[in-house]
A and B are shown apart, each in its own frame.
Chain A
């Protein structure tokens, strides 16, 4: 297993466009997390799934943000009507059990112009 995989690695989009990011977790992990990291800050929790169930989404930044994990495997994070303030690194992580560390992907760097 090659770890958590995210695609694309970089995305440049115009303000107002929609973007979608994909995350493939480590195969045996049933928990999947999305974080946002801005320059000079620690990662900020957005949402997480256990299998296909989204157990916490209240910390998604606005209703423009949504995430899915339809079959309990890969996940997508969509941002609608992007704004310049959405420019950041979006990180995905996965873990197997509560109390184990989360393994992070390489991230998708979003630039909104």
Chain B
């Protein structure tokens, strides 16, 4: 069975600091997505990574994909309070059957 694991599950970081969230998955895929979810809200698409070595950046967030290592990272640069949310990676195995990770709950402390 496919497993998508994120690390860490909970992250508390100070404003201005950098950190990386890791997403490991257990089967071959070259399509990976990152989503953000605020409490009580739906999921907002952040990044679409469609090939090995793909790197996307938006503001203080940067995502990368290593399909050989079955690993994606979401790097946070100089965190700000507005980034507090839960972040999910999702692996697409067959026809957009997204398999979501466990989520990383991020709290940015002033």
Say whether A43 faces chain B, with CB atoms less than 8 Å apart: yes
Cβ A95 vs Cβ B96 within 8 A: yes
Cβ B33 vs Cβ A43 within 8 A = no
Binary contact readout A91-113 vs B (1 if CB under 8 angstroms, 0 otherwise): 10101001111111111000000
Residues of A within 8 A of B44 (CB): 104
In the bound assembly, the distance between CA atoms of A44 and B31 in angstroms comes to 18
Q: Is A45 an interface residue (CB 8 A)?
A: yes
B99 cross-chain contacts in A, Cβ below 8 A: 45
Beta-carbon nearest neighbor of A33 in chain B? B96
In residues 88-104 of chain B, which contact A (Cβ within 8 Å)?
Answer: 88, 90, 92, 94-103
Q: Cβ of A12 < 8 Å from any Cβ of B?
A: no
- Interface: B68 (CB within 8 A): no
Whether, in the assembled complex, B61 has its beta carbon less than 8 Å from a beta carbon of chain A, the answer is: no
Known: A91-B43, A101-B33, A107-B42. A42 touches B96 (CB 8 A): no
Asked whether, in the complex, the Cβ of A98 is within 8 Å of the Cβ of B96, the reply is yes
Question: CB < 8 Å: which of B94, B96, B102, B103 contacts A102?
Answer: B96
Tell me, rounded to whole Å, the shortest Cβ–Cβ distance linking B45 to chain A: 4
Q: Are A44 and B100 in contact (CB under 8 A)?
A: yes
Contact between B42 and A101 (Cβ–Cβ < 8 Å)?
no
Most chain A beta-carbon neighbours within 10 Å: one of B41, B98, B101: B98
Q: Residues of A contacting B96 with CB < 8 Å?
A: 31, 33, 48, 95, 98, 102
Given A43-B100, A48-B96, A98-B96, list of 6 further CB < 8 A pairs?
Answer: A35-B98, A41-B102, A102-B96, A102-B98, A103-B45, A105-B42
Residues of B within 8 A of A (CB): 4, 31, 33, 35, 41-45, 48, 50, 88, 90, 92, 94-103
**Considering the complex of A and B, which 7 residue pairs feature the smallest CB-CB distances, nearest first?**
A42-B100, A101-B45, A104-B43, A104-B42, A106-B42, A101-B48, A43-B100
